[in-house]
């Protein structure tokens, strides 16, 4: 499997008549399979990222064995990428659960994810895997997109700046925050996280003072955990992390656009 950036397209009415394309950009695991019967439990191994299945067989229908794969919303697209409908995999019994479909592209959305909530009111009409509007950009330089990292929200702008965090790296040329932990000091993951929080608190203070405003700063630990900093208070923790917009490096160059701010393990 590999990660891929896709867009879902919704046709919305235009005030001057006709419609315009409204897009949702997403990161997915792209899986290809040519079997007539596809065992999804062998393909869908985690819930954090959406899975897009490309069915490559030449049969009219394909049998999707959803046994053990729950709870998911399933989106169907035909060979021309047109949306054809939805189904649900909610079966939790001991028996098998199978779905027959004519779709050639199938998107699996776990019900307990942010993406599922974001797509609740989205009336999809088409799948775009080729980025025909050229809105998605991902070109992370070395050290960027790797947890943990700092995100600064630029004032009155859709731009975010990312500051990498390096632990025990013997190099002065890497951009970002360098933290050195003595090898003889045995510390837990929680203790290391606290050390990082203290470093980022100084970044928040410095940025707020230099810009003479309350700068929005987040320390992103992983895909489900971030600390948000405010002046004179302890940072608050949230399961929602920043994403989308235009992501800049420390020199102000765009390194990603309309996508997540991190790499997945298979890309690092």
Q: Mean pLDDT throughout 92-108?
A: 91
Cis bond upstream, residue 71 (ω within 30): yes
Give the mean model confidence (pLDDT) for residues 246-262. Answer: 93
Cα dihedral 94, 98, 104, 109 in deg (nearest 10): -40
Q: Is the pLDDT of residue 266 over 70?
A: no
All residues at 6 or more sequence positions from 139 whose CB lies less than 8 Å from its CB, including other chains? 255, 256
pLDDT of residue 175 exceeding 80, the answer is yes
User: Is the model more confident about 173 or about 261?
Assistant: 261
| Interior angle at CA 259, CA 154 and CA 224, nearest 5 | 85
List, as one string, the DSSP characters of 25-55: EEEEEEEEE--SEEEGGGT---SSSEEEEEE
State what percent of residues in the chain have pLDDT above 70. Answer: 97
Q: What is the pLDDT of residue 184?
A: 66
pLDDT at 89: 94
d(CA 112, CA 114): 7
- pTM to 2 decimals? 0.74
- Mean pLDDT, the chain, integer: 91
139-163: pLDDT as tens digits: 999 999 999 999 999 887 889 999 9
Using the predicted structure, report yes or no on whether residue 171 has a pLDDT greater than 80.
Answer: no
Mean pLDDT of 113-118: 90
Separation CA 123–CA 226 (nearest Å): 30
Question: For the chain, how many residues are written?
Answer: 268
Please tell me the least confidently modeled range out of 16-25, 91-100, 113-122: 91-100
For residue 264, what pLDDT band results from cuts at 50, 70 and 90?
A: confident
Q: What are the C-alpha distances in Å from 57 to residues 50, 122, 197?
A: 22, 29, 50
What is residue 124's three-state secondary structure?
coil
221 near 227, Cβ under 8 Å?
yes
Residue 268 has pLDDT above 70, yes or no: no
* 1 pLDDT above the threshold of 70: no
pLDDT for res 155: 80
Average pLDDT of the segment spanning 27-56: 91
């Amino acid at each position: 499997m590999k990660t891929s950036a896709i867009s879902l397209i919704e046709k919305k009415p235009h005030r001057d008549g006709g419609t315009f394309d409204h897009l949702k950009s997403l990161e997915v695991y792209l899986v290809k399979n040519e079997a007539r019967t596809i065992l999804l439990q062998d393909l869908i191994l985690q819930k954090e990222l959406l899975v897009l299945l490309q069915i490559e067989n030449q049969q009219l229908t394909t049998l999707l064995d959803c046994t053990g794969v729950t709870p998911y919303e399933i989106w169907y697209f035909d060979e021309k990428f047109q949306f054809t409908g939805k189904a649900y995999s909610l079966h939790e019994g001991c028996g098998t659960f199978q779905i027959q479909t004519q779709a050639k592209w199938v998107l699996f959305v776990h019900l307990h994810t942010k993406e599922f909530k974001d797509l609740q009111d989205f009336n999809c009409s088409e799948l775009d895997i080729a980025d025909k509007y050229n809105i998605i950009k991902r070109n992370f330089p070395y050290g960027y997109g790797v947890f943990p990292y700092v995100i600064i929200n630029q004032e009155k702008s859709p731009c975010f700046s990312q500051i990498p965090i390096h632990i025990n790296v013997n190099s002065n040329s890497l951009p970002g925050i360098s933290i050195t932990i003595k090898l003889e000091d045995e510390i837990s993951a929680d203790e290391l996280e606290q050390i990082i929080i203290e470093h980022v608190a100084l970044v928040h203070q410095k940025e707020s003072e230099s810009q003479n405003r309350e700068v929005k700063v987040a320390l992103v630990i992983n895909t489900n955990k971030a600390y948000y900093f405010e002046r004179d208070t302890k940072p608050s923790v949230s399961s929602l992390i920043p994403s989308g917009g235009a992501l800049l490096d420390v020199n102000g160059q765009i390194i990603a656009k309309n996508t997540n701010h991190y790499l997945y393990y298979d890309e690092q």
